[in-house]
């Protein structure tokens, strides 16, 4: 049986667990209708069984949140996104951005912009 996100987060042993917990709460509040599951050993969100926003908890000095268009690479021709006016994303590909958080203070300072980014990304990619 697949582990649920609540169980995963309760058992998470990560030095930045507080940041991950707060970011998860922001995503869930920003997009309450969006599905949540554990994928690639981290919480992931998207419509139905699709993934669009996925945490990366592999680094111990940061929590990364990947904004993507699904598990498989898609042709990015014609895709554009202008829903990041605060510049939270670093672009790893034309249709995949990464937001990085290193402290709870940073999460709190960027909470509103992060929530808006989640909503804009889901709207643009769903």
What is the pTM for the complete model shown? 0.92
pLDDT score of 73: 65
In whole angstroms, give the CA distance from residue 90 to residue 4: 29
| Crossing angle (nearest 10°) for helices 111-125 and 17-30 | 50
- Report yes or no on 97 lying in a domain: yes
- Report yes or no on 59 lying in a domain: yes
Q: Mind listing the pLDDT tens digit for each residue in 17-41? A: 999 999 999 999 999 999 999 988 9
Q: Which residues of the chain have pLDDT under 50?
A: 1-2
Candidates 124, 43, 54; CA nearest to 83 is 124
- Report yes or no on 76 lying in a domain: no
Split into its structural domains, the chain has a count of 1
As given in the structure block, the two tokens for residue 54 are 């996925």
**Residue 61 sits in which domain range?**
5-71+83-125
pLDDT score of 71: 65
- Report yes or no on 31 lying in a domain: yes
Edge-to-edge strand order for the sheet containing 63-67? 35-39, 42-46, 53-56, 63-67, 96-101, 90-93
């Amino acid at each position: 049986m697949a582990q649920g996100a609540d169980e995963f987060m309760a058992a998470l042993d990560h030095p930045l667990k507080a940041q991950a917990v707060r970011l998860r709460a922001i995503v869930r509040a920003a997009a309450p209708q969006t599905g949540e599951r554990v994928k690639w050993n981290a919480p992931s969100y998207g419509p139905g069984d699709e993934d669009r926003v996925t945490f990366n908890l592999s680094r111990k000095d940061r929590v990364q949140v990947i904004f993507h268009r699904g598990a498989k690479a898609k042709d990015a021709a014609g895709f554009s996104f202008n829903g990041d006016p605060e510049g939270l994303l670093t672009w790893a590909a034309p249709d995949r951005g990464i937001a990085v958080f290193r402290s709870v203070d940073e999460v709190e300072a960027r909470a509103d912009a992060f929530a808006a980014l989640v909503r804009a990304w889901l709207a643009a990619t769903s």
